[in-house]
Structure 1
Amino acid sequence: MTKTKKLLTLLVILAMTAVSTVSLGAAEKQAAAGGNKLININSADAGQLVKLPQVGPKMAQRILDFRKSNGNFKRVQDLMKVKGIGEKVFAKLQPLITI
């Protein structure tokens, strides 16, 4: 095997390892949020919301206050209207929530 082929093989193995590590991290977050069950952001209480990554007691209360003032979320993306939930936080929450 040439050096180039060995290097290419090593890079492929490293890339596959990185992808599986990312998938494992997402699976762990989902498990922490209650297994395969999605959290309904229109009916969840503070105790359920704090199980989500990046959501502590204050953020959970902001979500509840927003829902009380504005009614149910029409789309999961509307969660970004809550102070403190931007695109990066939403990207972590999106696979774990539903309406």
Structure 2
Amino acid sequence: MRKILLPALVLVLFASTAGPLTTPAAMAAAPTSTLNARASPPGRVNLNTADAETLKRELSGVGLTKATAIVKHRQTYGPFESVEELLEVTGIGKTLLDRNREKLRVD
């Protein structure tokens, strides 16, 4: 039993610590685009182009009903000119807006 466990343990330890970018030298040799892709901040949701499914998925506290209300408001009244205008949508309050403000943009 010991003869099997020791090599298996060594293999598991080696596999868990070995990776393509684990050493500083490997990090320096990595392509810049690979490093930037990991470090870049996530995109923001555009209130004027996002569909209901995207709004539901990306925004905290927004389900399909509120997401659909946002899209309908945009279709009825035109594009949002600021993130603050989201408060005009039925079911969206200041707390919900504040929770998601950093995830939102209008273009």
Counterpart Cα distance in 2 of 1:96 and 1:64: 17
Structure 1 runs (4+) deviating above 2 angstroms are none
| Number of aligned residue pairs | 65
The one-letter code sitting in structure 2 at the alignment partner of 1:36 is P
Within the alignment, does 1:78 sit opposite 2:85 as a pair?
Answer: yes
User: Structure 1 residue aligned with 2:42, among 36, 43, 47?
Assistant: 36
Query: What is the aligned-residue identity percentage?
Result: 31
Within the alignment, does 1:66 sit opposite 2:73 as a pair?
Answer: yes
Please provide the CA RMSD for this pair: 0.9
Q: Residues 51-91 of structure 1, C-alpha deviation per residue, up to 9 Å, x if partnerless?
A: 21011000011001100000000001000100111111100
Q: Residues 13-61 of structure 1, C-alpha deviation per residue, up to 9 Å, x if partnerless?
A: xxxxxxxxxxxxxxxxxxxxxx610000100011110021011000011
Counterpart Cα distance in 1 of 2:52 and 2:93: 19
Gap runs ≥5 in structure 2: 1-40
Counterpart Cα distance in 2 of 1:85 and 1:47: 17
> Between Structure 1 and Structure 2, whose CA radius of gyration is higher?
2
In the TM superposition, what are the counterparts of 1:1-99 in structure 2 within 5 Å? Answer: 36-51=42-57, 52-99=59-106
Counterpart Cα distance in 2 of 1:94 and 1:38: 9
Given the two structures, how large is their TM-score scaled by the length of structure 2?
A: 0.59
Counterpart Cα distance in 1 of 2:75 and 2:60: 22
Q: CA deviation at 1:98?
A: 0.2
